[in-house]
Amino acid sequence: MIIKNEQDFFSGLMFAGFGGFFSIYSYLNYDMGDAMHLGPGFFPFVLGVILGVIGAIIVLKSLCRSPSSETSLGPFDWDILILIIGSVLFFAFALEALGLILTIACICIMSSLASHDFQFKSAIGVAVFMAIFAWLVFVEGLGMTLPLQPSSPREWSWATCLFISVSMLICFALVVRRVRCDKP
């Protein structure tokens, strides 16, 4: 078996793996129902099967067709993974402390740092837009009770203080590292 397109092969395997996992998990743990009364496990099962089939098709295409350009996998960029997962964790830890508006703005800027074409002005624009959009959709539209503004730092738990501080230091270190690496 000769893999002609590594990127498609591994992304197809990932899709097929996730699809298989979620379809099997929903089948084993949720009621599927019947044709007239579909259960809560039916929809995730069908989505998992569809994702698995799409993944299998991508894998088969990667074995048959050569890519139009070089698509071998290069070295893995850990900075991007750290920034994206860190943004999600930052949202979880900081929402109660910083409020919805400031937390959304922070995670937009943190996620923008993962781009190799990072521009601060565009990141600020996205942050402002997403903060307003999140407020309109979740607070005004859906009526969710989310804190909009920061709470007093005295009310923050030690874990929240630690996580916010560490995540800001990591972002700063990654920005400094990227600036040093981009210099000729």
| 54 and 85 inside one domain | no
On whether residue 54 sits in a domain, the answer given is: yes
Report yes or no: 69 and 36 within 8 Å, Cβ to Cβ. Answer: no
Residue 107, classified by CB atoms within 10 Å of its CB into exposed (0-12), middle (13-18) or buried (19+), is buried
| 91 and 177 inside one domain | yes
pLDDT in tens, 31-71: 888 888 888 889 999 999 999 999 999 999 888 876 666 65
On whether residue 129 sits in a domain, the answer given is: yes
| 47 and 84 inside one domain | no
On whether residue 22 sits in a domain, the answer given is: yes
| 117 and 83 inside one domain | yes
| 141 and 115 inside one domain | yes
**What total of structural domains would you count in the chain?**
2
The 3-state secondary structure of 32-99, one letter per residue: CECCCCECCCHHHHHHHHHHHHHHHHHHHHHHHCCCCCCCCCCCCCHHHHHHHHHHHHHHHHHHHHHH
pLDDT in tens, 70-85: 656 667 777 778 888 8
| 54 and 110 inside one domain | no
**Which residue range(s) make up the domain with 112?**
78-182
Both structure tokens of 83 = 């920034």
Please tell me whether the overall predicted TM-score, pTM, comes out greater than 0.85 for this model. no
pLDDT in tens, 109-129: 888 888 878 787 888 999 999
